[in-house]
Structure 1
Amino acid sequence: MSDTRPEALNSTFSNDPPNLEPDSEDDDHAPEVGRDSNEGFLDNVPDDTTELDLIHERITTLEGLGLERLHQLQRLSLRQNLITKITDLNHLTQLEELDVYDNRITKVEGLDQLTALTSLDLSFNKIRHIENLDTLLNVTDLYFVANKISRITNLGHLVNLRNLELGANRIRTIENLDSLVNLEQLWLGKNKIVKLQGLDNLKNLKILSIQSNRITKLEGLSNLHNLEELYISHNGIEKIENLEMNTKLRVLDVGANRITDLEGVHHLDALEELWANDNNLSSFEQIETVLSDKQHLTTVYFERNPLEKEAKATYRLKIKTILPRVLQIDASMVRAA
């Protein structure tokens, strides 16, 4: 079984907090050639179409596509094209999902009339500022992954947001999220965040991913009583602490930090998965003391800790013996559910 944690497949950092430098301005590969013309491109698309996928079609501009006649369109995907500017969409007043993932957009604009939108994906573009979302009050899912954003701004009015993804940007501070009280998922991995803060009002948050940042202390989570999944691997954390109020945690990923013991998870009775690989854990006895009473624990990761390196061939047998309910040790199943 492979490592399927959020962002885990892309993580290549050591136990040191990652030093993520901004992408260079000329980081593109050889430029892809765009379409010569949009004329007639959508002639075969019926006027009453509700879903349209225009993926990897070398589209450089939305002008001339003829989208204005598709008044019933509810979902539009423009993934993996060469679009530099959002235009000619304001007539799509029934549109609920817009996906412009992996283009060359530099500015959020041209969305004012799309008030029915519930999902907007602007990931993998060249956007520097979150802006011009004032009328999109129905958005529940918002994606800005892998842009050039340095600050969290202009989201306060989006009170219906359930899922916000800002991973792989240049953000240093968690801020301006106080009014997003309905948020359930917040993804901030691969930024430059140094402190857990600004989360107190997010009392409905269930998933927090903040992998591959520069955090050295677990803190600022005491108001998140409904938190179920915490992904904070590849940081500089030395101690599991301050999780006393997070008793609903089912998944805790503290892999690739500098942790020497597991004392801070003693009270997490709902725990199902514990990822603590690539740390400084050395005691099988402590694993037994802290985790043997966890009735729901099915998955543990302890590989590349001193306890694995020292035990070598007997490592998995020891874990299996002291945690007999566990179904998976590291990437391998030990028994069927």
Structure 2
Amino acid sequence: MTALDDVSTNPTDQVVPERHVGADAYVHSDSENDEAGPVEMGRDTIDGFLDDIPDDAEELDLVHERLTTIENLGFERFTNLRRISLRQNLLSKLHPLPNKTLTELDFYDNRLSRIENIDHLTNLTSLDLSFNKIRRVERVEALTNLTELFFVANKISAIGGLSPLINLTNLELGANRIRAIENLDALVNLEQLWLGKNKITKLEGLDKLRNLKLLSVQSNRLSKIEGIAHLSNLEELYLSHNAITKIEGLDKNANLQTLDLSANRVVVLEGLETLSRLTELWMNDNKLTSYEDIETQLSNKTELETVYFERNPLQLEQAATYRLKLKTILPRITQIDAALVR
């Protein structure tokens, strides 16, 4: 699981489990009036900017170059170009790129407010438009070869415009303004879906995603685990920082290996009987009080390696004996909270 830099070492504090951000990343405003963040001056000139790069280059890494435009940069002479990274620049408009050979295009951390002039790039397999100011997913329908699509930290309020992208395996929409999981039925090959840090109130609209292996809906407004019974191939489920009170609805998810329910309101450890492949369980920052429930639910999990139970009443009220009790109940585990078992 990836996350923003400069977050707590507690894995459940990584509420935007999306792509890595450089330490010097420009952070745009997320206010309703689109006020600018820290002012950074653009490059004075782009004359001769790419002159030293050979014509047969297959990759261009133009990261943090203070570019305000890519128009007239002369991309057309790179006839073998497969990948362009324009991360951490000051681009506010997507000018057309002539290189139809492109398979990877990265505009992460710019100032784009709309998607345009990329529908001819039909060979693209990866497109990253994260950390911009995009409000709508649009004009990507022709990019049917895409397998990875990243929209982390934009201003998107609804999921749409993705139905033709049936080859997608990884879709990241974390840190937006999405209120409902919808319009995903056509994405039958999707394996990873990242929706952390939105405003989602219900797990729904996932029935057709039978190949989904990872689902992240951290830091939303969920109160119940539901709507995932059809996800029989699910291996990782991240639901931390919600308002869930009961562990339920996991009976059909027998392939689940990682379950994160930390920072919720769970009182009883239950509903894990069918999860025989569980290797990691994060339950810290809940309201658990019973070691007996831990023994009942987890002692037969032969593949379980890591558990997090810190900051539950069972740890806070018996801190001196907490780790010893867990090691006695679960002798096979190798990690309790952030510390390895010795």
Do both share a fold (TM > 0.5)? yes
Task: Determine the structure 2 residue equivalent to 1:191.
Answer: 198
Question: What secondary structure sits across from 1:94 in the alignment?
Answer: coil
**4+ residue runs over 4 A deviation:** none
1:242 to 243, 246, 249: 249
Alignment of 1:3-14 (within 5 A): 3-4=10-11, 7-8=14-15
Task: Determine the structure 2 residue equivalent to 1:200.
Answer: 207
327 and 8 in structure 1: CA distance in 2 versus 1, 3 angstrom threshold: farther
User: 1:101 & 1:119 partners in 2: Cα distance?
Assistant: 12
Task: Determine the structure 1 residue equivalent to 2:54.
Answer: 46
Task: Determine the structure 1 residue equivalent to 2:171.
Answer: 164
Structure 2 contact 96–118 (Cα < 8 Å) conserved: no
Question: Deviation string for 1:93-128 (max 9, x for gaps)?
Answer: 110000000000010111021111000000000000
Question: Deviation string for 1:174-194 (max 9, x for gaps)?
Answer: 000001000000000000000
- Kindly report the root-mean-square deviation, in angstroms, between the aligned alpha carbons of the 2 structures: 1.7
User: 1:264 & 1:80 partners in 2: Cα distance?
Assistant: 45
> Greater relative contact order (Cα 8 A, min sep 6): structure 1 or 2?
1
User: 1:93 & 1:3 partners in 2: Cα distance?
Assistant: 43
Q: Which amino acid in structure 2 is aligned with residue 305 of structure 1?
A: N
Give ranges in structure 1 of 5+ residues lacking alignment.
11-21
Question: Deviation string for 1:128-177 (max 9, x for gaps)?
Answer: 00000121010000000000000001000000000000000000000000
1:272 aligns with 2:279: yes
2:124 to 100, 113, 117: 117
Give the superposition deviation at 1:30.
3.0
Give the superposition deviation at 1:266.
1.9
Question: What secondary structure sits across from 2:271 in the alignment?
Answer: helix
Higher mean C-alpha displacement, 257-266 vs 192-201:
257-266
Q: Which amino acid in structure 1 is aligned with residue 160 of structure 2?
A: T
Aligned residues: 325
Question: Deviation string for 1:38-80 (max 9, x for gaps)?
Answer: 1100000111100110000000001121112112110100000
User: 1:221 & 1:238 partners in 2: Cα distance?
Assistant: 17
Question: What secondary structure sits across from 2:307 in the alignment?
Answer: strand
Task: Determine the structure 1 residue equivalent to 2:24.
Answer: none
1:131 aligns with 2:138: yes
Q: Which amino acid in structure 1 is aligned with residue 212 of structure 2?
A: L
Q: Which amino acid in structure 1 is aligned with residue 147 of structure 2?
A: T
Question: What secondary structure sits across from 1:84 in the alignment?
Answer: coil
Structure 1 contact 164–185 (Cα < 8 Å) conserved: yes
Structure 2 contact 68–90 (Cα < 8 Å) conserved: yes
Give the superposition deviation at 1:9.
7.7
Question: What secondary structure sits across from 1:37 in the alignment?
Answer: coil
Question: What secondary structure sits across from 2:321 in the alignment?
Answer: helix
Question: What secondary structure sits across from 1:312 in the alignment?
Answer: coil
User: 1:198 & 1:186 partners in 2: Cα distance?
Assistant: 12
Task: Determine the structure 1 residue equivalent to 2:298.
Answer: 291
2:39 to 10, 31, 45: 31
Give ranges in structure 2 of 5+ residues lacking alignment.
1-7, 18-29
Structure 1 contact 67–88 (Cα < 8 Å) conserved: no
Q: Which amino acid in structure 2 is aligned with residue 163 of structure 1?
A: N
Task: Determine the structure 1 residue equivalent to 2:219.
Answer: 212
TM-score of the aligned structures, taking structure 2 as reference length: 0.92
Q: Report percent identity of matched pairs.
A: 60
User: 1:217 & 1:4 partners in 2: Cα distance?
Assistant: 21
Structure 2 contact 181–200 (Cα < 8 Å) conserved: yes
TM-score of the aligned structures, taking structure 1 as reference length: 0.93
Q: Which amino acid in structure 2 is aligned with residue 170 of structure 1?
A: R
Structure 1 contact 7–189 (Cα < 8 Å) conserved: no
Question: What secondary structure sits across from 2:293 in the alignment?
Answer: helix
User: 2:340 & 2:298 partners in 1: Cα distance?
Assistant: 18
User: 1:276 & 1:213 partners in 2: Cα distance?
Assistant: 17
Question: What secondary structure sits across from 1:264 in the alignment?
Answer: coil
